[in-house]
Homo-oligomer: A and B are copies of this chain.
Amino acid sequence: MRQKKKSELLTEVELEFMTQLWALGEGTVRDVLDQLPEGRNLAYTSAATILKILETKEFVTSKKEGKRHIFTPTLAKDAYQTRSLKDLSAKLFDDTPASLVARLVNDDSLTEEALGQIRALVDRRLKNDTG
């Protein structure tokens, strides 16, 4: 009786919407729709459908206020970032975060500045652990 393995990852459009909600904190269908970039012409009902799906998948909850729903993420962006990285690491980097970083820092398009920032992050984390 194995639970159908539900994907814990967002689809393309779901991520697009969650990104807006993370930025807004919370919002109605209209709020999210208005937040979408220029040229992204999506029908109101489409946006409503996406948010409904996100609620079904429990990425957001909604409370009713007057006649409209206000949607709030149940999963923080940080947490989803971590989840996505774990997934990518597992699927493409043999579950070895170091090899993921290796690929990242060997990318020529990475700036010197970004590289410096990365080292600072790692150093800080190492200091905190041992301190």
Contacts and interface: CB of A to CB of B under 8 A. Distances in A.
A98 B122 contact: no
State the copy count for this chain.
2
Interface in A30-81: 77-78, 80-81
A22 to B, nearest CB: 10
A104 B107 contact: no
Interface in A102-131: 102-107, 110, 112, 114-119, 121-123, 125-126, 129
A82 B107 contact: yes
B103 A81 contact: yes
Interface size class, chain A: 35 or more
A122 B122 contact: yes
A6 interface: no
Nearest to A130: B112
26 contacts: A15-B92, A19-B91, A19-B92, A78-B103, A81-B92, A81-B93, A81-B100, A82-B107, A85-B100, A85-B107, A97-B104, A97-B107, A97-B110, A97-B118, A105-B121, A106-B125, A112-B129, A115-B122, A115-B125, A115-B126, A115-B129, A116-B126, A118-B122, A119-B119, A119-B122, A119-B126
